[in-house]
A and B are shown apart, each in its own frame.
Chain A
Amino acid sequence: MEIKPSEIYDLCRIAKKAKEGHIGSSLSVLNILNAIYALKMDRSIEFIMSKGHASLGLYLILKKYGYVSVDQLESFCETDSNLGGHPNFRKVDGIFGSTGSLGHGLPQAVGKAIAFKANGSQARVVVLVGDGEMNEGSNWEAILLGAHHNLTNLICVVDFNGSSERALSVMKVPNAIEALGWNVSFVDGHDEEEIKFGLLSSINAPKLLWASTIKGKGISFMEGNPEWHHKSPTENELALIAKELGVA
Chain B
Amino acid sequence: MRKQFFLTLLELFPKDEKLFLILGDIGVHGFRSLLSDFPERAINLGILEQCMIGVSAGVSSEGFIPVVHTIAPFMIERAYEQIKIDLAYQKVGANLVSVGASYDYASLGCTHHCPADVPLMYNIPGVRIILPGSAREFDLAFRSFYKTDINYFRISEEGHHFEIRELGFISLRDTPSASVATIFIGPTMRFFDEDSINSDQSIWYLNYIDDAIDLTLPPNIKSCKVIQDFYSGPVEDLLKKYNPTIIIQTLAPERLFLDSYGTRSEAYERVGLSKSSVNCFIKSD
Contacts and interface: CB of A to CB of B under 8 A. Distances in A.
Name the residue among A108, A111, A112, A137 with the largest chain B CB count within 10 angstroms. A111
A116 interface: yes
A217 to B, nearest CB: 29
Contacts of B57: 107-108, 111
B55 A145 contact: yes
A118 B56 CA distance: 13
A141 B48 contact: yes
A107 B82 contact: yes
A141 B50 contact: yes
B85 interface: yes
Given A90-B91, A104-B85, A117-B40, A141 B59 contact: no
A111 B85 contact: no
Contacts of A97: 90
Contacts, number: 97
A111 B58 contact: yes
B14 to A, nearest CB: 15
A119 interface: yes
Interface string B75-89: 000000110011001
A103 B50 CA distance: 9
A119 B82 contact: no
A117 B62 CA distance: 11
Given A98-B90, A101-B81, A118-B40, A110 B50 contact: no
B43 interface: yes
Given A96-B61, A145-B45, A107 B90 contact: no
B90 A90 contact: yes
A115 B85 contact: no
Contact of A138 (B41, B51, B60, B90): B51
A113 B58 CA distance: 8
Categorize the interface residue count of chain A.
Answer: 20 to 34
Given A96-B61, A98-B90, A144-B46, A118 B54 contact: no
B54 A108 contact: yes
Interface in A189-216: none
A116 B63 CA distance: 10
A108 B62 contact: no
Contacts of B169: none
A228 interface: no
Interface in B1-56: 20, 40-41, 43, 45-46, 48, 50-56
28 contacts: A90-B90, A90-B91, A101-B81, A104-B54, A104-B82, A106-B54, A107-B54, A108-B54, A108-B86, A110-B51, A110-B55, A111-B54, A111-B58, A111-B59, A111-B60, A111-B61, A112-B61, A114-B58, A115-B58, A117-B40, A118-B40, A118-B41, A119-B63, A119-B64, A141-B48, A144-B48, A145-B45, A149-B43
Closest 7 CB pairs of A and B: A111-B58, A107-B54, A141-B51, A115-B62, A141-B48, A111-B55, A108-B58
